[in-house]
Copies of this chain bind each other. A is one copy, B any other.
């Protein structure tokens, strides 16, 4: 029996192309033969997402990317920012499944132990992560959310970043008594293996977790239900400022 090839669009909700490239590399390393990963950088919005304001203004770009994907043959989508911006809206307009990296990371971690610790970038984003943990039913597994206070765009440039993130993870599992680490930023994807090796616990990166979740949903022929809330949005007049 042969599962047909599928194409997953990994959408970076910020406008920084180097981040897109790095996360696509991570996703490609784990997908099955026949799964094509397409990286897409948002064309409008903030260069990185570190506030509710940034996140709100990233959503129109995410939705525009999904609309392009619909015309471009995407079978499934990943929204690759840990705030999962625009996820509900994207599900209304996509014909294939849409997976956020926070939801996939947390749910993946929930298979691996009793509790996980999230380690994210700036402390001001911890509230959003807590909201999502609750929204996804993962509050009972999420034992703590911690910040390493490195700005998103410094994760790549700062030579000390990997070390700081690793130590934040070590402190987190100790403080929380948790079994698993969840990396709280798409920009940390390429640190996943080394942190796991250093700490001796499973470390989950949302970009790979979400891409494989999308791959699996496509393989099973599953997509967002259109029975009610997530049916295509009713047509409407829009003013563009």
Residues of A at the B interface (CB closer than 8 Å) are: 1-3, 15, 28-35, 42-48, 50-57, 59-61, 63-64, 86, 88-89, 91-93, 97, 99, 103, 107-108, 110-114, 122-124, 126-127, 130-131, 134-141, 151, 173, 177-180, 193, 196, 200-202, 204-205, 208-209, 212-213, 215-217, 219-225, 227-231, 233-234, 236-241
Q: Give every chain B residue within 8 A of A46 (Cβ-Cβ).
A: 236-238
Copies of this protein, total: 6
- Name the CB-closest residue of B to A192: B220
**Which residue of A55, A179, A228 has the most chain B CB atoms within 10 A of its CB atom?**
A228
CB distance from A234 to the nearest CB of B (A): 6
CB <8 Å contact, B111 and A217:
yes
CB <8 Å contact, A217 and B108:
yes
CB distance from A8 to the nearest CB of B (A): 13
A233 to B124, CA, bound (A): 9
Known A53-B93, A114-B127, A179-B230; contact A225-B202, beta-carbon cutoff 8 A: yes
A69 to B180, CA, bound (A): 24
A selection of 8 A-B contacts at a CB cut-off of 8 Å is A33-B34, A52-B91, A57-B63, A57-B238, A108-B222, A113-B225, A113-B230, A127-B228
